[in-house]
Amino acid sequence: VKQEKLMNVTDLEIWNFAKKNDFIIVTQDSDFNDLNSLYGFPPKTIWIRTGNLKTPEIAAVLNNYREDIEVFVNDENYGCFEIMCRPQKVD
């Protein structure tokens, strides 16, 4: 988002950008899942439901679910992958 200068745009603009560029959205809130419910997918969404995390903690969660995420990415039947777990401490 920061790299593409999308810091101050709406969720719908980010969603449309992800759709246009075949990106997957990684988020900690329900807004993008709500957009997928309204408009369908792509883009796919990875919804991290662990509370607020720092970037290294998000990376650790994603790494822990890497194999499941790969299956999700390649399955055209699903648009949202929810991760609900307690985060592990990252040094």
Within-domain flag for 71: yes
Within-domain flag for 78: yes
Within-domain flag for 1: no
Cα dihedral: 40, 26, 63, 50 (round 10): -100
pLDDT tens digit string along 25-42?
Answer: 999 889 998 999 999 889
The neighbouring-strand residues paired with 61 are none
pLDDT at 86: 67
Tell me the average pLDDT across 60-80: 95
Within-domain flag for 90: no
Domain of residue 44 covers: 11-83
Q: Say yes or no to pLDDT of 89 above 80.
A: no
CB 50 within 8 A of CB 36: no
Which candidate, 91, 79, 74, places its Cα nearest to that of 25?
Answer: 79
Confidence of residue 5 (pLDDT cuts 50, 70, 90): confident
Within-domain flag for 2: no
Q: How many separate domains does the chain show? A: 1
pTM: 0.84
